[in-house]
Structure 1
């Protein structure tokens, strides 16, 4: 060890070792901070602590090795005269300071990301790179940015001052090319071995997801997410007999006699009742976890209006979100389709002309629109909905006098609701029923909203965001009651996803629990429904209530039907689950299948029996979705009308 230390000390490559040690110290400090902030929920054991720091340090070293490859080329081939020159010396000082400042800024970004998602960098961080304006404004509005960056600058300056004497010494060394080649070759070899043999398996050893995340390296995970932002289902996930799984899927969705081609679930849905064409306003509420509602144990009384509404409408208490992002919720609600690995279809190319809820309404003569309180280019929302037959209305379509408040994510919920009412009045005047899907933004960090609306000051936290969301919904219903179309309108209120999705388990079921309310006093009786169900069931349930006949390619079922099969699909970017019969079956990359018994009270997974009924049901849903999407079985040939322009001024 002494010989190695002496060799490194007397080598140009000692610079890499020096910065590697500093980076690992910063990374370890961050790991400690994140662990402390998550201590109560992570329930980490002594063995878990060892795993966090041992595996975490290992990934830190691997990341340092990768970063060192680029600098190794420079240190290997830089001529001795230039290496010892003043120009190189001061260039090195400047670059060293910037490197330190960058490391501290990335560490701060990791803390922000953990504070929001309770995970290290992942697919979401990649997505955020595309929307720097919204993300930067959100950070600026949520945190004291200037003092923080000044503090990071001072920390970088102090660290540089401590390293400067060692840097000066390293810049004076004389080293033969053969010695430099030995160090460079060692780094290249280690990098190659890391690339070939180090993957994600080590960070998945624990059943406690907090331990796995804390034992990771953020920048390493960022690069891994960038490389693997799509996963081919057939390559990475368990496969079953196509004939058997196709039969099961058709049976699950109610297609009789196993007719048609493999996984062809197209069918004619005939309603059991006929009704007049009722209007529909479907509201996807940002991050409305069930736990925020008094009905599910919330003690702060921040949802007084919704609590009243639940007693007057069709209220689903055992309802679950499909995913962890807005786009996944929109995908499930609109397409009634299981999630597939990686990004939601909303964000993928070639995502137009898919059979969807809006198409059913459009085929029945409805005015169909998607209204978003933010900018529709975010998460590709406008492109997705316009490509699937919807008109789109977003923040950019609102006139200045229509906007009373806006933040990084969009206008206040009240503003987009007022626009929806105005759009509805135009459709009503034209004698046309309407289906409007509204996506809200106010219940999102920085939780800012118009002052004077509720008794919680704007920008003070999640409780205020939820209470303003509740207030704005009250204004929507109250204003709608004054409109001529109100008595013939159905309101659907559902969350896009939960506010916090991380947990100890791979797929913490309780973090997917959301409310669903279908409200139309003149047409739908008040009732509480306790059946286990999820977002893909909204479309068929709503259409059954309205008595609409349609060609269905939906995976969901009518929750109110006597033949409804209780289950809920939940997922993250890589793990695909079905919660059914008090078991959570999970499919994961490298063809893994696990089961968690009683997942609301237990986190321990066991290997799945591939012949088990729940497992086969899970495989049928997800393998079927992949098969259908790849072969474009759920596409229609033509978009009858594609109008994305503004109608109301």
Structure 2
């Protein structure tokens, strides 16, 4: 009884998608995505239908037990479905104009514009009169036609027997829920699922515009729920503090429109810059690293720490992988809401190391053993400078596959194969993200001597991850790309951040190591953050650049004379640490200052506390401002 309206909606969405593909056929063919667009398009159209029908379809058998109730339900459902057809048709009719303006299906911008309907209405009347006329004809025509059709043909005319109705309800509920989820894997689909091309508009064609706007509203709702305010500060004062804490002269800043955009000079001039490989180790906190005073689980990393630039005092910005990606790949500071990997305004045009390096001729990519659409990683990367993504489906004969994808050794084997395929003249950048060290801690047998008697524990997973890392580095060292490549090995966060402190700072401590051609061993004990890695790497690669990252180059000699700093987000609390002094910012509460010694926060107030509080608040406010106003980017040419 629901098949006919479903088919009508699918037909509407398929026909409009066909029209959009025909319009953008050249770009679709360049992306080699024709079949994919229609196959995934059907998938996401069913997702939308599942969302629309989940509750009413489940209730329909119950309403069909009684004749009177059935008649009333029929009228209500005709109106309900007609309203959805109006929305769907309106969104699809609006899509070509939106693509013309923004090169994507309607998204958060569309939602924002709805809040300014007067200004938008005048703009539409002036610029898009024909489109408005078309919408004024097509939308009412579709609504009236659909409503009349539904009144004539839809729903049962005879009531259902109650045992049959009750048996039918869970079947419909499960069916609709599976349509919404559209996956038997760990995670439901999202727009990142269709991010197969660097051309974001082509990826968007596999979606439908009602879904993209609904998803944008969903993310905006989460943003508003999670984004807390820690206080207020004059904008100029805030930016002045940010500039001062970057420890750069005023002449380094080059753009009033992008306040933190600045020039950074290469440490040494190279005819060809180094390649860059960032190995982001899943959940590798200092407590597991022998060289940082932790358990003896990382003999390979401990050995390598004596062969490169070892940063002994680096802190993660958060407790989730996307937060680590945000800090290491973009240099962006944390907030109490989602990382920028998942936020609407950062899906295109947001600064990343990949975007900067791609402009300099680097081939840029992301390698992962699991599902890259998790946490919208694929979508974010493909929209912000990455040329390719390799994930779990791209491994032909993996040695081992667990809940989170192929093993780390499979990942590193594929990475080595990819890096070896480049000619010496082709520079490359890759983010290689491991996943073995994640609950349920699955890895191949026979690789390590177990630390714990039970195999699937975090300690054993760390030891295996270290084994796979060591094997890869030893193999890379014998390759032709080693001498021209820098490797950053750094954790995304700790395995489990817990403790009885307001912020368990000791569990934010992570390893960080730079290896590769020409690197001379040294240890850097300066307090630092994941956000400092990008500004440290670029000069070391031999690249002079202009970028908005506010982190510091930790290899600058003069930094030895100033206290380092780190910023950590723990739920809604943000910690700003400078040397041993810590400020905690909490919503609806006054900032508090502490001394951090021996893994303990001790309340303390001093003459310098007010200035430190200003620094903490400035960084918290800058992050929100930079995101909201889209100030974290490189200017368009």
Distance 1:475 1:379 in 2: 29
Question: Partner of 1:623: helix, strand, or coil?
Answer: helix
Distance 2:441 2:477 in 1: 28
Match of 2:441 in 1: 447
- Work out whether residues 367 and 411 of structure 2, in 8 Å CA contact, stay in contact via their aligned partners in 1: yes
* 4+ residue runs over 6 A deviation: 129-132, 225-228, 232-235, 606-611
- Work out whether residues 267 and 540 of structure 2, in 8 Å CA contact, stay in contact via their aligned partners in 1: no
Match of 1:289 in 2: 285
Deviation of 1:394 after TM superposition, in Å, equals 3.3
For structure 1, which segment, 586-595 or 244-253, has the greater mean C-alpha deviation from structure 2 after superposition? 586-595
Distance 1:369 1:455 in 2: 33
Match of 2:186 in 1: 134
Deviation of 1:425 after TM superposition, in Å, equals 2.1
Question: Aligned to 2:371, which of 369, 375, 389?
Answer: 375
Return the TM-score normalized by structure 2. Answer: 0.62
Question: Partner of 2:423: helix, strand, or coil?
Answer: helix
Q: Matches of residues 541-620 of structure 1 in structure 2 within 5 Å?
A: 541-564=536-559, 565=562, 566-598=564-596, 600-605=598-603, 612-620=610-618
For structure 1, which segment, 494-503 or 241-250, has the greater mean C-alpha deviation from structure 2 after superposition? 241-250
Question: Aligned to 2:308, which of 307, 313, 317?
Answer: 313
- Work out whether residues 486 and 514 of structure 2, in 8 Å CA contact, stay in contact via their aligned partners in 1: yes
Deviation of 1:631 after TM superposition, in Å, equals 1.1
CA 241–357 in structure 1, closer or farther in 2 if over 3 Å, else same:
same
Question: Partner of 1:511: helix, strand, or coil?
Answer: helix
Structure 2: segments with no counterpart, 5+ residues: 1-161, 171-180, 189-217
After superposition, the C-alpha distances for 1:514-570 in whole angstroms (9 at most, x for unaligned) are 0100012x4111001100001000000011211211112001010011343511111
Distance 1:309 1:632 in 2: 39
**Is 1:537 the equivalent of 2:508?**
no
Distance 1:372 1:618 in 2: 34
CA 550–534 in structure 1, closer or farther in 2 if over 3 Å, else same:
same
Question: Partner of 2:259: helix, strand, or coil?
Answer: coil
Distance 2:259 2:182 in 1: 36
Question: Partner of 1:474: helix, strand, or coil?
Answer: helix
Question: Aligned to 1:302, which of 297, 302, 307?
Answer: 297
Question: Aligned to 1:346, which of 341, 345, 348?
Answer: 341
Distance 1:635 1:254 in 2: 20
After superposition, the C-alpha distances for 1:389-443 in whole angstroms (9 at most, x for unaligned) are 1133333442422x111111111011111111122122226x3111111110001
**Is 1:237 the equivalent of 2:226?**
no
After superposition, the C-alpha distances for 1:67-104 in whole angstroms (9 at most, x for unaligned) are xxxxxxxxxxxxxxxxxxxxxxx99xx9xxx9xxxxxx
Match of 2:58 in 1: none
**Is 1:506 the equivalent of 2:499?**
no
Match of 1:433 in 2: 427
CA 408–374 in structure 1, closer or farther in 2 if over 3 Å, else same:
same
Distance 2:493 2:266 in 1: 30
Aligned residues: 424
Question: Partner of 2:223: helix, strand, or coil?
Answer: coil
CA 317–611 in structure 1, closer or farther in 2 if over 3 Å, else same:
closer
- Work out whether residues 274 and 548 of structure 1, in 8 Å CA contact, stay in contact via their aligned partners in 2: yes
Deviation of 1:234 after TM superposition, in Å, equals 9.0
Question: Partner of 2:185: helix, strand, or coil?
Answer: helix
Question: Partner of 1:134: helix, strand, or coil?
Answer: coil
- Work out whether residues 628 and 634 of structure 1, in 8 Å CA contact, stay in contact via their aligned partners in 2: yes
Cα RMSD of the aligned pairs, angstroms, is: 3.1
Distance 1:337 1:497 in 2: 15
Deviation of 1:292 after TM superposition, in Å, equals 0.7
CA 379–599 in structure 1, closer or farther in 2 if over 3 Å, else same:
farther
Deviation of 1:606 after TM superposition, in Å, equals 6.4
Question: Partner of 1:347: helix, strand, or coil?
Answer: coil
Question: Aligned to 2:492, which of 486, 492, 496?
Answer: 496
Distance 2:573 2:320 in 1: 14
CA 255–315 in structure 1, closer or farther in 2 if over 3 Å, else same:
closer
Match of 1:363 in 2: 359
Question: Partner of 1:427: helix, strand, or coil?
Answer: coil
CA 458–279 in structure 1, closer or farther in 2 if over 3 Å, else same:
farther
Question: Aligned to 2:264, which of 261, 265, 269?
Answer: 269
Question: Partner of 1:345: helix, strand, or coil?
Answer: coil
- Work out whether residues 289 and 497 of structure 1, in 8 Å CA contact, stay in contact via their aligned partners in 2: yes
Distance 1:436 1:582 in 2: 35
**Is 1:481 the equivalent of 2:477?**
yes
- Work out whether residues 353 and 637 of structure 1, in 8 Å CA contact, stay in contact via their aligned partners in 2: no
After superposition, the C-alpha distances for 1:195-251 in whole angstroms (9 at most, x for unaligned) are xxxxxxxxxxxxxxxxxxxxxxxxxxxxxx999843489972211222222111112
Structure 1: segments with no counterpart, 5+ residues: 1-89, 99-128, 137-224, 641-649
Match of 1:250 in 2: 243
Q: Matches of residues 59-208 of structure 1 in structure 2 within 5 Å?
A: 133-134=185-186
- Work out whether residues 609 and 615 of structure 1, in 8 Å CA contact, stay in contact via their aligned partners in 2: no
For structure 1, which segment, 504-513 or 230-239, has the greater mean C-alpha deviation from structure 2 after superposition? 230-239
Question: Partner of 1:386: helix, strand, or coil?
Answer: helix
Distance 2:469 2:182 in 1: 31
Distance 2:610 2:362 in 1: 44
Distance 1:539 1:235 in 2: 27
CA 324–235 in structure 1, closer or farther in 2 if over 3 Å, else same:
closer
After superposition, the C-alpha distances for 1:562-587 in whole angstroms (9 at most, x for unaligned) are 34351111112311111113111111
Match of 1:68 in 2: none
Deviation of 1:338 after TM superposition, in Å, equals 0.8
Question: Partner of 1:518: helix, strand, or coil?
Answer: strand
Deviation of 1:482 after TM superposition, in Å, equals 3.0
CA 229–255 in structure 1, closer or farther in 2 if over 3 Å, else same:
same
CA 263–578 in structure 1, closer or farther in 2 if over 3 Å, else same:
farther
Question: Partner of 1:515: helix, strand, or coil?
Answer: strand
Match of 1:519 in 2: 515
Question: Partner of 1:133: helix, strand, or coil?
Answer: coil
Distance 1:527 1:583 in 2: 26
CA 135–356 in structure 1, closer or farther in 2 if over 3 Å, else same:
closer
Distance 2:363 2:418 in 1: 10
